[in-house]
Amino acid sequence: MNAEVRAMKTSAEQALAEAYAAAKARLPGNGAVQALREAAFKRFEADGLPNRRIEEWKYTDLRVLMREAKPPAGAPDAAAKARAAEAGKLAGDIDARRIVFVDGAFVPELSDLAALPPGLTVRPMAEALAAGDPRIAAHLGKVIPGDGMVALNTALMRDGALIHVAAGATVERPLHLIFAAAGTQPASVFCRSLVVIEPNARVMLVESHEAAAGHQVNAALELIVGAGAHVDHVKIVAGAGDALHVATLIAAVGARARFNDFSFNIGCGVVRNQLFVRFDGEAALANIGGASLLNGDQHSDTTLVADHKAGGCQSRELFKAVLDGRSRSVFQGRIIVQPGAQQTDAKMMTRALLLSEEAEADSKPELEIFADDVQCGHGATMGSLDRSLKFYLMARGIPEPEAEALLVQAFVGEAVESIEDAGLRDALMEQVAAWLKARGG
Amino acid sequence: MLEVKNLHVTVDGKAILKGLDLTVNKGEVHAIMGPNGSGKSTLAYVMAGKPGYEATEGEVLLDGENILEMEPDERAAEGVFLAFQYPLEIPGVATMTFLRTALNAQRKARGQAELSTPEFLKTVREAAAKLEIGQDMLRRGVNVGFSGGEKKRNEILQMALLEPRLCVLDETDSGLDIDALKIVSDGVNRLRSPERAMIVITHYQRLLDHIVPDVVHVLSKGRIVRTGGKELALELEANGYAQYQDEAALAS
Ligand SMILES: Nc1ncnc2c1ncn2[C@@H]1O[C@H](COP(=O)(O)OP(=O)(O)OP(=O)(O)O)[C@@H](O)[C@H]1O
Ligand SMILES: [Mg+2]
């Protein structure tokens, strides 16, 4: 019996099952959380690691990309903490409140949780799970049903941030969640955050994920954007060429809310960035964008579902990828307009710029529309740099690498522009410039 | 300064220039006229190094040095400037960034130091003001949302900033209203100098009223078929190209 089950699992799946069995008694959470973990792990186990036979994972086969599962990270040691003190630089020098997690565990001495403004609550997830924080029971795992990787996260989640912003509160200083997988031994990290923004509140959230060699990160963030709230969320992913980052954003957007989401991916071997956004109230406005810069053998998959459950919302999705070397990008975007979500205005665009002949981009935009009075559209382009534009620049004396760099910056800049914070925009464009310089621009 | 010798050029396998000879001395302005499709832009592009324009025979010498093997940016650094017939829009590349990158790249190639920000801004503002190019245009992406005439003025701005040795102007007058024609011509005339050679490609005498050429050439079917003084342009205006097309046909 045992042997039979084992035979059906890949060695990574087997290692995850063993890791869960060994860890579950010690993972934080009361009985209800334990039941949640148990159910989630069963769900994960039923399907196993997502693979190409599952439509949504056709281009990103984790059975292949994750041949082995690294052991769950232990408590971070001093060396890892020292390395993590440097993390979060990709966001530039924005004045933000740092909340630092090293190897998946909250590190108070690197974080700045002193003197939080009125209306803002920040609590480490491990502590909240252990203490039975009522917001966990109310929301965790309940916002939008996730998929198998979210289930795996739920089963093994250790720490992360529980953030609550009270109705009407404006959090002036952005919150910067820094997740550094910095241990010398490759490990797997499961971080889970829950952010509840009550109506008419305003906050900007920056997430930086940096992973050292060989680490495997599974990050999930559930975000509730209350009616009339204004939320900016920028996620930056960088890491070693053989690190793996699977992240899921689950967001429920209330009526008249403004939600600006941006995913920036520069570095990290394999990235699967899932965005499940549901419009629950009318007349919300969302900008969901992203940019990936890939080289070497990097693989980056953005999978987006924008589910318009309520009518009158406007969503704009613009995702760009720049590919060099033998890298590969995937964009799967689906806009759903539920019956009755009239006057939905949704436009989705994805563009891939191929700098090398060996790079490859796939895009699969889809519309599922069940209402008649809507404006929806999608488009996808893919191509190399415009030769005549390059010639125009070179004819003015600009050498080829610099001419290419200018054009690539313009290409990425169009997406980065949707970020409201100018400092952050500049910081990301500096990363783009550095990336181009490294390739010889 | 410029010697084009027996130049043959093919584009997409099609022969366009078929043994073109042209010599332009320092300080001279030469006008090139000729029917549509005769190869004027092809000549301009091949001098600037546009990809896909293949010189199968002949040479283009700039002060004795063959530039045909050089990359477009190297030619620009050597002082070749082409004012495009159709200047391109580059969304997302700010005009100022573009001008500064170009200027500093050329300075670097010539072993000069980069301009400081205040020096650069001052130089651009002065040159732009002379061409009646406003600050709002400079703040936009390169040529983005510029009218046809504004794009042409922007070409002359680039030429003024880059101070080339050899200027090739491809139909810089097309799309210009009467006032803009005057502004652009004045801009070009300010750049006339004993050290600089210019080739002005045009269909119309009215440009040559402002930029008075030393020599006028007729290009037809890929060759220079006639060369004369500035009065040749007037003659063409009156009689058209019919006789030259026949001559070119006979010669080929
Ligand atoms: N990519 C191409 N493939 C084939 N033929 C081409 C290509 N580009 C240009 N040509 C041809 O080369 C010839 C010369 O074109 P060119 O643009 O040099 O003419 P021109 O003298 O500048 O004309 P105009 O006065 O209309 O500007 C034309 O017949 C044109 O159709
Ligand atoms: Mg032409």
Q: What's the gap in Å between A389 CA and the centre of ligand 1?
A: 19
Instruction: List chain A residues with CB under 8 Å of B166.
Output: none
Q: How many residues comprise chain B?
A: 252
Does the pLDDT at position B188 exceed 60?
yes
Share of chain B above pLDDT 90, in %: 92
Note whether B79 and B50 are within 8 A (CB).
no
Tokens of B73: 């940016």
| Residues ≥6 apart with Cβ < 8 Å to B225 | B218, B219, B244, B247, B248, B251
Q: Nearest CA to CA, how far is A246 from chain B (Å)? A: 31
Residue A49 covered by a domain = yes
Q: What is the largest CA-CA distance in chain A?
A: 73
Domain co-membership, A35 together with A161: yes
Mapping DSSP onto H, E and C, the string for A115-147 reads CCCCCEEEEEHHHHHHHCCHHHHHHCCCCCCCC
Angle of CA points A53, A63, A348, to nearest 5° = 60
pLDDT band at B250 (very low <50, low <70, confident <90, very high): low
Domain co-membership, A273 together with A136: yes
Domain co-membership, A28 together with A156: yes
Mapping DSSP onto H, E and C, the string for A200-215 reads CCEEEEEEEEEECCCC
Mean pLDDT, to the nearest integer, of A57-74? 95
In angstroms, the Cα distances linking A74 to A19, A24, A115, A140, A159 are 12, 14, 30, 24, 12
Does the pLDDT at position A143 exceed 90?
no
Note whether B35 and B245 are within 8 A (CB).
yes
Q: Which residue of B has its CA nearest to A386?
A: B90
Query: In the prediction, which pLDDT does A144 show?
Result: 87
For residue A179, the SS3 value is strand
Strands A360-369 vs A328-337: parallel, antiparallel or unpaired: parallel
Torsion of CA B71, B76, B81, B86, to 10 degrees: 50
Residue A355 covered by a domain = no
Mapping DSSP onto H, E and C, the string for A342-389 reads CCCEEEEEEEEEECCCCCEEEEEEEEEECCCCCEEEEEEEEECCCHHH
Q: What's the gap in Å between B52 CA and the centre of ligand 2?
A: 16
Domain final position from A220, A255, A281: A281
Note whether A150 and A220 are within 8 A (CB).
yes
Record the pTM: 0.94
Residue A91 covered by a domain = yes
**B66 burial type by CB count under 10 A (0-12 exposed, 13-18 middle, 19+ buried):** middle
Query: In the prediction, which pLDDT does A69 show?
Result: 96
Query: In the prediction, which pLDDT does A441 show?
Result: 59
Note whether A229 and A200 are within 8 A (CB).
yes
Residue A286 covered by a domain = no
Note the pLDDT tens digit of each residue in A285-327: 999 999 999 999 999 999 999 999 999 999 999 999 999 999 9
Of the candidates B73, B89, B85, B108, the residue with the CA atom closest to the CA atom of residue B201:
B85
Q: Which residue of A has its CA nearest to B163?
A: A396
From the list A387, A406, A410, the residue facing B51 with the nearest CB is A387
Note the pLDDT tens digit of each residue in A346-396: 999 999 999 999 999 999 999 999 999 999 999 999 999 999 999 999 999
Share of chain B above pLDDT 70, in %: 97
Mean pLDDT, to the nearest integer, of B70-79? 97
Query: In the prediction, which pLDDT does B247 show?
Result: 61
Does the pLDDT at position A1 exceed 60?
no
Residue A161 covered by a domain = yes
Q: How many residues comprise chain A?
A: 441
Note the pLDDT tens digit of each residue in A191-229: 999 999 999 999 999 999 999 999 999 999 999 999 999
Query: In the prediction, which pLDDT does A67 show?
Result: 92
DSSP conformational letter for A342: T
Instruction: List chain A residues with CB under 8 Å of B92.
Output: 409-411, 413-414
Query: In the prediction, which pLDDT does A223 show?
Result: 98
Q: What's the gap in Å between B173 CA and the centre of ligand 2?
A: 12
**Rounded to whole angstroms, how far apart are CA atoms A294 and A346?**
28
Q: What is the Cβ-side half-sphere exposure of residue B132, based on CA atoms within 13 angstroms? A: 11
Put simply, the answer to whether A392 touches B90 (Cβ < 8 Å) is: yes
Domain final position from A265, A281, A297: A281
Number of domains in chain B: 1
Domain co-membership, A390 together with A266: no
Note whether A163 and A175 are within 8 A (CB).
yes
Domain co-membership, A69 together with A217: yes
DSSP conformational letter for B152: H
Put simply, the answer to whether B98 touches A396 (Cβ < 8 Å) is: yes
CB B202 less than 6 A from any atom of ligand 1: no
Query: In the prediction, which pLDDT does B249 show?
Result: 56
Number of domains in chain A: 2
Domain final position from A259, A281, A303: A281
Interface probe with A: pick from B75, B78, B93, B159, most Cβ of A within 10 Å: B93
Ligand nearest to the CA of B241: 1
Return the H-helix or E-strand segment holding B210: helix B205-210
CB B11 less than 6 A from any atom of ligand 1: yes
| Residues ≥6 apart with Cβ < 8 Å to A362 | A59, A328, A329, A330, A331
ipTM: 0.96
Range of the domain at B223: 2-251
pLDDT band at B237 (very low <50, low <70, confident <90, very high): confident
Does the pLDDT at position A2 exceed 50?
no
Mean of per-residue pLDDT scores for chain B: 94
Note whether A256 and A227 are within 8 A (CB).
yes
Give CA B28 to chain center in angstroms.
14
Mean pLDDT, to the nearest integer, of A256-278? 97
For A196-224, b/e burial (b = at least 16 CB within 10 A) is bbbbbbbbbbbbbbbbbebbbbbbbbbbb
Mean pLDDT, to the nearest integer, of B56-68? 97
Ligand nearest to the CA of B36: 1
Note the pLDDT tens digit of each residue in A324-335: 999 999 999 999
Tokens of B198: 């210019």
- Give the domain CATH number at B83: 3.40.50.300
Query: In the prediction, which pLDDT does B251 show?
Result: 54
**Rounded to whole angstroms, how far apart are CA atoms B238 and B240?**
6
Give start and end residues of each alpha helix (H) in A74-218.
78-84, 125-131, 134-139, 148-156
Nearest Cα residue to atom 8 of ligand 1: B11
Note the pLDDT tens digit of each residue in B29-56: 999 999 999 999 999 999 999 999 999 9
Range of the domain at A415: 385-441
Instruction: List chain B residues with CB under 8 Å of A403.
Output: 73
* Type of residue at B116: S
Mean of per-residue pLDDT scores for chain A: 95
Query: In the prediction, which pLDDT does A4 show?
Result: 46
Domain co-membership, A6 together with A129: yes
Q: What's the gap in Å between B62 CA and the centre of ligand 1?
A: 24
**Rounded to whole angstroms, how far apart are CA atoms A95 and A107?**
19
